[in-house]
């Protein structure tokens, strides 16, 4: 096939395309041809679209009474110190300190939600506390060390004293993992304090 023949074929194709473009002209008063209607119109109802299948005409509906998120454990506690103590006696952390993945996840949750008040080492010196908000107690004080995991879980879930509830921000599983990381902080701080207590005290400089 010679070059002239190829050029003639290309010219013919170009002319055909021009003719097709002239025949199929865009007319704003007429809708275009729809070859894939499901790409244009959604088969299900959109979240905020009107829906005649429900009495209130809404697509989004409130969950039935008693519904709980998948994977969540329903808690039967209320707020208050006594309820926190009861949770400490009845609830057990499903994760162990030997679970490195759980501890690693707990460190992420702690850094994201807890460190702003409790500080990186759990001394209650986070940036929020340093700007006038009442500081939380250190993790190494007697009350914190005596607190059971279930009591900590109750405190994170329901809040207490100056601490708000984090039930909507942190899943139940992540709350337990954050508690693991609190124990890691406690162990590190206790070890550091013990090492400091055993180190020899430098002699006082001679009087001038």
Q: Report percent pLDDT > 90 for the chain.
A: 51
83: helix, strand or coil: helix
Can you name the residues that pair with 58 across neighbouring β-strands? 50
Can you name the residues that pair with 156 across neighbouring β-strands? none
Can you name the residues that pair with 50 across neighbouring β-strands? 58
Does the domain at residues 81-197 carry the CATH identifier 3.40.50.300?
no
Say whether pTM exceeds 0.75. Answer: no
Kindly report, residue by residue over 172-204, the tens digit of the pLDDT.
999 999 999 999 999 998 888 888 888 776 666
Kindly report, residue by residue over 63-91, the tens digit of the pLDDT.
888 787 777 778 889 999 999 999 999 99
Domain ranges in the chain are 81-197
Pairwise CA distance, residues 148 & 166, whole Å: 18
Residue with tokens 């209130």: 56
Burial class (CB in 10 A: 0-12, 13-18, 19+), 4: exposed
């Amino acid at each position: 096939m010679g070059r002239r023949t190829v050029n003639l074929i290309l010219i013919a194709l170009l002319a055909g395309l021009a003719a097709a473009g002239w025949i199929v002209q865009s007319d704003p008063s007429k809708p275009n041809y729809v070859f894939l209607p499901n790409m244009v119109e959604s088969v299900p109802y959109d979240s905020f679209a009107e829906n005649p299948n429900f009495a209130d005409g809404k697509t989004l509906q409130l969950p039935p009474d008693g519904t709980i998120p998948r994977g969540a454990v329903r808690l039967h506690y209320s707020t208050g110190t006594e309820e926190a103590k009861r949770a400490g006696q009845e609830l057990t952390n499903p994760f162990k300190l030997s679970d490195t993945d759980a501890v690693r996840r707990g460190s992420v949750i702690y850094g994201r939600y807890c460190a702003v008040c409790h500080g990186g080492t759990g001394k209650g010196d986070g940036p929020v506390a340093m700007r006038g908000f009442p500081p939380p107690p250190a993790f190494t004080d007697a009350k914190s060390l005596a607190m059971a995991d279930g009591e900590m879980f109750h405190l994170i879930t329901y809040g207490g004293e100056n601490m708000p509830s984090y039930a909507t921000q942190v899943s139940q599983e992540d709350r337990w993992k954050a508690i693991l990381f609190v124990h890691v902080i406690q162990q590190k701080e206790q070890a550091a304090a013990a090492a400091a207590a055993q180190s020899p005290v430098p002699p006082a400089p001679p009087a001038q």
